[in-house]
Each structure stands twice: as C-alpha cells, then as structure tokens.
C-alpha cells in the first residue's frame, strides 16, 4: 500500500510517485473536466452538479485501508456535511481532515 498525499489544495499535483491520491471533483458538466496530472498514483472521481449528489458520491467511495488524509473545499454548509461524513462514515481521524467553506450559499445565515 502506498502512503497517501497530505491534505492541502492541489497537493496531489506535487505528490511523489510512491503516494496515492483520490480526488473528487464536482463540475457543472463534461466541458469543465480538465486533465489532472500527478506523479502519484491518481484516481479521479468526477461528480456532475445536478446529476450526482456530492454527499452520496463521497459516502459511496471505497477508501483504501491505512492512514488517510482529506482536504475539502466547497460551500460552507456542504463542507461541514462532508467533514462529518468523512469522520463518521469513513472513520478518518479528525486531525487528518481539513474542511474549508470557501463561500456561503445565497440566503444562508451568517452564523451557520
């Protein structure tokens, strides 16, 4: 089993060849897909907005055994839900999950 890449934005691009990276990317449609390259063993899961529920996609992931790291960057409320899913459903240790809400959905209260 290869070690995983650390959780940070785009870390998978700079991982060594002896590392594994699983990247889940939500896009509007196929036109938004871009080639993702890494020296690491890279697996990419594309989730099309309006066709795939990102929470369900992450819930159904088959994560490899061993130490895992996760980095989440989405809308604030969704980031919280994804973090909870990674911690509870997938059992990733909290210290190994970085979840950031980069924007707030329109109409979301400030304190949420």
Task: Look at residue 73 and tell me if it is in a domain.
Answer: yes
Cβ neighbors of 54 (< 8 A, separation 6 or more) are 24, 26, 47, 74, 78, 82
Residue 56 has, within 13 A of its CA and on its CB side, a CA count of: 7
Domain around 87: 11-101
Give, as one character, the DSSP assignment of residue 70.
E
Decide which of 107 and 87 is more confident: 87
Task: Look at residue 96 and tell me if it is in a domain.
Answer: yes
Please state the domain count of the chain.
1
Q: How far apart are CA 82 and CA 88, in angstroms?
A: 10
pLDDT tens per residue across span 23-51: 898 999 999 998 888 888 888 899 999 99
Q: Residue 12 has what pLDDT? A: 63
Task: Look at residue 109 and tell me if it is in a domain.
Answer: no
Q: Residue 56 has what pLDDT? A: 96
Task: Look at residue 86 and tell me if it is in a domain.
Answer: yes
- The residue among 93, 52, 48, 47 whose CA lies nearest residue 70 is 93
Task: Look at residue 91 and tell me if it is in a domain.
Answer: yes
pLDDT tens per residue across span 46-88: 999 999 999 999 999 998 778 888 889 899 999 999 999 999 9
Mean pLDDT in residue range 81-108: 88
Q: Residue 10 has what pLDDT? A: 63
The CATH number that applies at residue 53 is 3.40.50.80
């Amino acid at each position: 089993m290869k070690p995983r890449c650390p959780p940070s934005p785009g870390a998978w691009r700079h991982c060594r060849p002896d590392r594994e990276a699983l990247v889940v990317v939500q896009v509007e449609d196929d036109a938004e897909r871009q080639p993702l390259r890494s020296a690491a063993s890279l697996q990419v899961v594309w989730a099309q907005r309006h066709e795939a529920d990102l929470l369900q996609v992450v819930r159904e992931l088959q994560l490899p055994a061993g130490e895992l790291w996760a980095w989440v960057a989405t809308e604030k409320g969704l980031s919280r839900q994804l973090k909870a899913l990674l911690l509870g459903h997938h059992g990733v240790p909290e210290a190994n999950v970085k979840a950031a809400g980069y924007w707030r959905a329109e109409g979301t209260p400030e304190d949420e």
